[in-house]
Amino acid sequence: MYTQPMEMARHSAPAPRTSVRTEAPPVDMARFLTMVDDDPKILREMATMYLVESTELMNGLHAALETGDIPEAERLAHKLGGSSATCGMLGIVTPLRELELSGKARNSQENEKLLKEADRQHERICAYLVDNVLSH
Amino acid sequence: MKKILIIEDDALIARAYGSKYGSAGYETQVAEDGEAGLALVQTFKPDLVHLDLGIPRVNGAEIIRRIRAQPLLGALPIVVLTNTYQNRMVKAAIDAGATRCVSKATCTPRMMLEVIDKLLSRGPAAQASAAAVPPTSLEPESKAPTAPENPPAVEATDDLAEEIIPVPHDETPSLAPQTLPAPAETFTRETERHEVFHARIHSEFLKRRPELLAALYEPLEPLLRAEDEEVRIRGLSQMCRAADRLASHSGLAGFEAASEMAGALAALLRELVEGPSEISASTLRTIVDTCDSLRESPRFTEESANQPAAPPVVLVVDDDPIARRAICLALARINVAAISVDGPVAALGLLAENKFGLIFLDVQMPDMNGFDLCRQLRTIHPNESTPVVFVTTLSEYESRERAAQVGGNDLIAKPFLPIELAVKALSLLRPAADPSA
C-alpha cells in the first residue's frame, strides 16, 4: 500500500530527501496561490485535500497496474494529472500524462518506470506542501 | 472648503467625479498620473485622495506607500477605486494603507460622495444632508432626470465632460448652516441633482460606447495572429487597458453587469500579461467570446442599466473533488452560488427539480461521461436551454466539436485559470433584466 506521503502529512514532518539532484520545485506556488485567490485558509484546505486525494489515487494506480487493469490505471492517471495541474503540482504531471499514453500502449516496463517517477514526484510534492503550507 | 485630489488617468471619469464633488461643495484638482498625483499632494494639500489603482507611471499601491511614508500624511484619507477581480492589487493597496477600497462596477459617484462625506465628517450642512439619506441609498441610482446639476469645481479641459455637466451657477449649494433648507427638502433637491447627473452620464456613455468597444477590439486580431510572445503581451496589455476603461465607464454610467464583465476580462488579460505561459487556445477563445458578449450584450440596453442581476445558481459536476472545489472557488469570486456533485447520477436528480443558471461539466466520469449527460439534460425541463460549459483536459478540436454536437455551449481546458472560468460564467449568466432571457 502506497501511504507514505499521507503519513508525512499527518505528522507534519519534513519528508526524507531521496534525491540530491537540483530540480525545479515540485509545486508552482504562484499557480496554487492564484487558484485559492491568495487566501491562506483556503490554501491549507486545498493542500490537505490534495494530499488526501492524491494519495488515494496513487494507491489506486499502484493497485490497477499490479492487477493489469490498464483502463482503470489510465483513468486514475488522467484524473490525478488533471487535479495536479489545476493546483500547480507540476512535477507529477508529466509522468502521469506519459503513463496515460504508455498505459494505452500496454507497455508494462515503461509503466513501471513512469510509476516510479510519479511516486518520487508525489513524495516531493507532499513534502513540499507539508514544509511550505501545512506547517505554517 | 475641503479639498479632494482625484488621481485618475481617464479625463472623462476624473471630470465626472470632479463635478460631483464640486457640486457638493468640495474643491478638487485632478492628477492624470502617479507622479503628478504625488506632486499635488504636496502643493494642493488635499483633505482626501480619490485614487484609481490602475494609474500610469507610479502604481496605486506605491502612491499610497509614498504618501504614508510622510509623517504628516499618515492619517490622510485615501479612497481607492478598484477592479473587484484584481485581488492582488487591492490587497497591495490595503497593505500600503488605503483607507477604503470601493468597486468601480458597483460604486456610483453618489455612493462615493457618501463615503467621502462620512470620512471627512463635514460640518452641519453635510450632516443634515447625510441624515436625510435613507439607509437604502447604497442601492443603484434610479433614472428620470428632473433638475439640472450643479457646476463642476474643476477646470474644464474636456469638451465632452463640459457637455455632461450643465452649469446653473445660481444653484450652487451653500454649506453655511443658516442657508440650509429642511432635511427633507435637502434630500429631494439632492436626489434630483443626482438623478440629472446620472442621466447625463448614462446618455453620454451610450454615445461613447462604440469608441470604447473599438479600442477593445483593435488589438484583438493582431493578438490572435501573433506567434511572437512579445507581440502577444503587447496586444494583451493594450486590451487590458481598454477593458479596464470600459469597466470604469460602464460602472460610472450604472451598467453594473457590463462593468463587472469588462472588469473580469481586464483581470484575465492582466494575468496573461504577467504569466504568458497561461496563454492557450482556451484562454484566447474566452477573450474573443467575452469581447463579443460585451459588444452584443443586453447589459447595455436602457432596460438593463441599474437593474441588479438575478442570483443564479450554478451546477458543477465533476468526480474530482479538487476540480469541484476549484470551480466553486472561482465562482465565489464573482459572488455566484454553486452546487457541486460528484457524478451524473446525482446531477440528473438535481436537474429535474431545479433551474440552474449555468452548468459546468467534466467529461471523463464514471457511469456516464459528460457528453452523454449533456445530451440527456437537453431533454430535461427546466434546464433544456441552460448553458453548459465542459471543463476538461480533453481540449482537442474533436472534443470541442463533440461538445457542440451534444448541445454544449463552450469548453474550458484544464488546468484553467480561475479568472478565465469566472469570465466565462459572467458572460453566460443572464441578468434578470436581460430582455432576451
> What structural domains does chain B harbor?
3-158 (3.40.50.2300), 189-308 (1.20.120), 310-437 (3.40.50.2300)
* pTM of the entire predicted model: 0.79
Report the distance separating Cα B216 and Cα B210, nearest Å.
10
Report the distance separating Cα A7 and Cα A50, nearest Å.
14
pLDDT of residue B174 exceeding 50: no
State ipTM.
0.84
Which of A37, A45, A88 is closest, CB to CB, to B333?
Answer: A37
Closest chain A C-alpha to B147 CA, distance in angstroms: 45
User: Given an 8 Å threshold on Cβ–Cβ distance, is B329 in contact with A36?
Assistant: yes
Torsion angle in degrees (nearest 10) through CA of B20, B22, B24, B27: 140
Q: Taking chain A (136 residues) in consecutive chunks of 10 residues, what is each chunk's mean pLDDT?
A: 50 47 87 92 97 97 92 92 93 92 73 93 97 90
Confidence (pLDDT) at B122? 59
Which of A34, A37, A87 is closest, CB to CB, to B322?
Answer: A87
Confidence (pLDDT) at B307? 54
User: B34-68, pLDDT tens digit by residue?
Assistant: 999 999 999 999 999 999 988 888 889 999 999 99
Average pLDDT over residues B392-405: 84
| CB atoms near residue B319 (< 10 Å) | 17
Confidence of residue B184 (pLDDT cuts 50, 70, 90): low
Which of B323, B329, B366 is closest, CB to CB, to A82?
Answer: B323
Question: Which has the closest alpha carbon to B314: B300, B299, B328?
Answer: B328
Q: Which of B27-36, B133-142, B366-375 has the lowest mean pLDDT?
A: B133-142
Residue type, A44: R
Confidence (pLDDT) at B197? 82
Report the distance separating Cα B28 and Cα B40, nearest Å.
11
Q: Which B residues in the span 362-381 are in contact with A, Cβ-Cβ below 8 Å?
A: 364, 366
B433: CB partners within 8 A, 6+ apart: B298, B303, B304, B307, B309
Specify the 3-state DSSP secondary structure of B424: helix
For chain B, the straight-line distance linking the first and the last C-alpha, in angstroms and rounded, comes to 49
Closest chain B C-alpha to A6 CA, distance in angstroms: 17
User: Given an 8 Å threshold on Cβ–Cβ distance, is A86 in contact with B323?
Assistant: yes
